[in-house]
Chain A
Amino acid sequence: MGGGIEVDPAEIAARGRLMLVAADQVDRLQLAASLSQIEAALPASRSALAVERLATSWKRAEAHWARATTQHGQAMVTGGWEHDQTEEAIRRALGERSPDPPTPGPLERRGVR
Chain B
Amino acid sequence: MNIHEDLKAYLDGELDPRRAAEVRAAIEADPELQAEIDMLKKIGSSLSAHSGGPVTGKEAVLAGLKQKPTRRPRWTLPSYQLAAVAGCVLVVATIFPVFTQAKQASPRTAALAVKHLAEIENKAVEKDAGREAEAPAYSSAELKSDRAQGLIGKGEERTQAADMPVIVDRDIIRNSTMTLESESVTKCLDQASALVTSLGGYMESKNFSRTEDGGGTATAVAKVPTDQYSTAFAKLHDLGKVLSESESSDDVTKKTTALRAQSAYLNKKLANLQRQYRNASRRERADILWRIEEVKDELGGTKTNLKNLTNAAAMSTIVLTIEEVKKVGLHEGSDNWSGNVVNSAMNNFKIAAQLLGAVCINVLAFAPFWLPVALFIWWRGRRPSASA
Q: Do A and B bind each other?
A: no
Interface of B toward A, CB cutoff 8 Å? none
